[in-house]
Chains A and B, each alone.
Chain A
């Protein structure tokens, strides 16, 4: 994934509010490494620390190639650091161990195939998928997981396979594959209720990746908070087990925390709902949605932002967002959408503000938003032109006026349009009836004249 994100790297210059080490501790497994590498990509100031942490975590796994990559990158930016040289002994040992495991698994699969035992072939493919996932080869993992498909005999098998594929696809950020796998699970007549929150969270990430913020917010709101808080502890306990999955062939459990923590979800819900909900919907959310309240307990600043929105305190929303912007930009899921989210939130705030006025003055509005009147003017023009706010501007006296709806004029225009359409269609109908009855329809022989046609008709 790090190579993917490198292509559209946007450097974050300001430092985030979080402390890297404790931040990394919130995450487990592959996601933790992904996040650290992501931060190393985006934030040069934290790159060294992030890489060192990533290398330490990677050494707990069997992902040799990623380990070597990380070491190489660290060497490039900090050549004198003792940790910037690869542990050749470890690499060799792990490579040897994984190769023998891989060979063994492939051999087993081959023999299953010769025996044509469906269930064993499926298991063999699944185990190979797990194995490749454990050494960080996502493409091969995805390949073997998908090969199970024709050997699945029960709904449970399809469910397991789909979940495996979803996980790999999310790691790869291959959202179209996530979508197919999710729809496959949805099509099953019954499914394990335990995986429901997991699927919902993935769906939320998917919606966020599509830039569909309203759906992302509403989907994440349906994920029960307990599924994140309880399993976090469980996952932390299971982490060592998961890391040695390749050796023990123990199927790792599915937890949402392998992608997001409860804090991340709170931030996503907060930003997405600010960007897409109107004030009433947001107020209802804050007052009546218990799940939402619980989420927001973990991220106080988001709660403040939402409260400010409800209380029309736009200035503090923007300052709050700016304060945490670096954090958002370094979040692996949010990063690419931050600018768009901020724009939408700004639009949403303008819309809320304007709605309250019949006539409002731009300088007051600017003061309220903490920006210059020129900026407000520019933003409002853009919003009006994209038909998002129903006002018009008076640039001479610097005020905006709520669109005066002259209903009589509207009705008049409407009636005239209907009458005109009716007339036109009626005329068309009459002419076409006349043409058909008179025998003047277009025919394939352009030379023949009306006289000959008539003669033929008489014969």
Chain B
């Protein structure tokens, strides 16, 4: 046993029975410094000494039945309910020590031990839910993200246990508080994806707590590391569910932005999440802009865009009918494919699209008219589902919601009602908005420049650069070849 380790043992009065228990080196290396740093505080906080046994357990035996084969069913959160067994704890704390830690130490000081203890105690089953959530909340209200990151397997497992426990009693709302703290404590600027991110959003969607979800979504995530047990699933799901939250909050612009991130996720082949994202994107674009282009952002790869076309065909039909603007055709298409919408879970969004169609038809009138009679609007207005409000009520609602800049007037109580469209004008609030936008663009620019520098200095990039320089077909090699050619030309000219 190395001297440092024994010193720690003394300080903490933690007795590792070295002869029988195998402590993995990697854990030792990672856990030690943190424990050491907090040692005194722990000692002061604890009443008397206690023993902790950390046992090394082979993680392979439990990882054989690895789950997450839900590639095709991203939209149903139930798939997430199974705890990812491949992440089952590799290091266990002996049962007798678990309660010692949980009762006698401060989670803010030794978050790491708490994570280990909680995982060990509840990994098989959560018997007493209220006790579990009391402990979990105590931990996560004070958690040190830096410590938790040191044992990502346990941390992740614990998060899944939380989600599963709340699902088991059908109260997903219980899991929101710990999961949100978990996600927010993961990095100081909240810009790094944690295992808690997508989990939190799923639970928030289940609990319909969209406002709470925005607490997390107000921070854009652009740092990722697979070292914390994250896969592309976490990344895609986080952004996909984020988009769903934004849809729930009717922030369609933001939703499209998040879906674009999903659509442009690098890699091969294309994930079902991406296809679901495309379907939602089609409907959102129709709602927002009244038209849809299947052209993906430049960053999406070709293979992905081909797969999209194959999978989202009904949506494309709907979009074409929508853009075409003929209500009878749209109605026909709608009746044909509304079953697909509900099967995909996009029925609500598609209904919104139909309302948007009605709105856009009325909004389009402002291009043609300055004033128009309500009668004329009625003649143009089409309610595809035939169960919406009357034209007059609909127009009034649009004006009230700010969807139509117009006023309604009537010369006398018997004369026809006219709608007067009003022009947009620039006010000071517009200028403030502009200023804010400029600022955010500036910040983004700096971020991109920083990322560029970072990539430029990274080992991978430099290696690549060196490789291409040494191979004759590479970029630099070709440049040299060109120079040679030019030299020859010059000499020829001289001749």
Chain A interface residues (CB < 8 Å from chain B): 381, 384-385, 392-397, 401, 404, 406, 408-409, 412, 415-416, 419-420, 422-444, 446-454
Complex CA–CA separation, A439 to B224 (angstroms):
8
Q: Is B332 in contact with chain A by the CB < 8 A criterion?
A: no
What residues of B have a CB within 8 angstroms of the CB of A392 in the complex?
367-370
Which of the residues A412, A430, A443, A452 comes within 8 Å of B267, measured between beta carbons? A443
Complex CA–CA separation, A437 to B152 (angstroms):
19
State how many angstroms separate the Cβ of B266 from the closest Cβ of chain A. 5
Chain B interface residues (CB < 8 Å from chain A): 66, 68-69, 71, 84, 86-87, 152-153, 193, 220-236, 257, 260-261, 264-271, 297, 299, 364, 367-373, 376, 418, 423-426, 430, 433-434, 437-438, 440-441, 444-445, 447-448, 451, 455, 458
Which of the residues B299, B445, B455 comes within 8 Å of A428, measured between beta carbons? B299
Complex CA–CA separation, A392 to B364 (angstroms):
12
Which of the residues A423, A427, A451 comes within 8 Å of B86, measured between beta carbons? A451
Complex CA–CA separation, A87 to B423 (angstroms):
78
What residues of A have a CB within 8 angstroms of the CB of B369 in the complex?
392-395
A-B CB proximity, top 7 nearest: A442-B267, A438-B224, A441-B267, A450-B226, A439-B226, A394-B370, A430-B222
Q: Is the CB of A449 within 8 A of B299?
A: no
Complex CA–CA separation, A396 to B410 (angstroms):
11
Q: Is the CB of B299 within 8 A of A437?
A: no
Q: Is the CB of A449 within 8 A of B84?
A: yes
State how many angstroms separate the Cβ of A421 from the closest Cβ of chain B. 10
Q: Is the CB of B235 within 8 A of A395?
A: no
Q: Is the CB of A440 within 8 A of B230?
A: yes
Complex CA–CA separation, A433 to B450 (angstroms):
12
What residues of A have a CB within 8 angstroms of the CB of B69 in the complex?
446-447
What residues of A have a CB within 8 angstroms of the CB of B364 in the complex?
385
A426-B445, A435-B224, A442-B268 are known contacts. Are A409 and B426 too (CB-CB below 8 A)?
yes
Q: Is the CB of B232 within 8 A of A440?
A: yes
Complex CA–CA separation, A275 to B437 (angstroms):
47
Complex CA–CA separation, A441 to B235 (angstroms):
9
What residues of A have a CB within 8 angstroms of the CB of B433 in the complex?
416
Which of the residues B87, B266, B424 comes within 8 Å of A441, measured between beta carbons? B266
Complex CA–CA separation, A416 to B370 (angstroms):
26
Determine which residue in A394, A442, A454 has the highest number of CB atoms from chain B within 10 A of its CB, and name it: A442
A395-B376, A442-B271 are known contacts. Are A434 and B224 too (CB-CB below 8 A)?
yes
State how many angstroms separate the Cβ of B167 from the closest Cβ of chain A. 21
Complex CA–CA separation, A423 to B373 (angstroms):
41
Q: Is the CB of A432 within 8 A of B266?
A: yes
Which residue in chain B gives the minimum CB-CB distance to A383? B368
Q: Is the CB of A435 within 8 A of B68?
A: no
What residues of A have a CB within 8 angstroms of the CB of B430 in the complex?
412
Which residue in chain B gives the minimum CB-CB distance to A419? B437
Which residue in chain B gives the minimum CB-CB distance to A401? B370
Q: Is the CB of B227 within 8 A of A450?
A: yes
Q: Is the CB of A442 within 8 A of B266?
A: yes
Q: Is the CB of A412 within 8 A of B226?
A: no
Supply 14 further A-B pairs (C-beta < 8 A) apart from A424-B257, A449-B68, A451-B86: A409-B425, A422-B441, A427-B222, A427-B261, A427-B444, A429-B451, A430-B444, A437-B224, A439-B226, A440-B232, A442-B232, A443-B232, A446-B71, A450-B226
Q: Is the CB of A397 within 8 A of B425?
A: no
What residues of A have a CB within 8 angstroms of the CB of B235 in the complex?
435, 440
Complex CA–CA separation, A415 to B121 (angstroms):
57
A419-B438, A448-B231 are known contacts. Are A385 and B368 too (CB-CB below 8 A)?
yes
Complex CA–CA separation, A395 to B423 (angstroms):
17
What residues of B have a CB within 8 angstroms of the CB of A436 in the complex?
266
A430-B222, A441-B265 are known contacts. Are A393 and B423 too (CB-CB below 8 A)?
no
What residues of A have a CB within 8 angstroms of the CB of B269 in the complex?
442, 444
Q: Is the CB of A426 within 8 A of B265?
A: no
Q: Is the CB of A431 within 8 A of B261?
A: yes
Determine which residue in A404, A419, A430 has the highest number of CB atoms from chain B within 10 A of its CB, and name it: A430
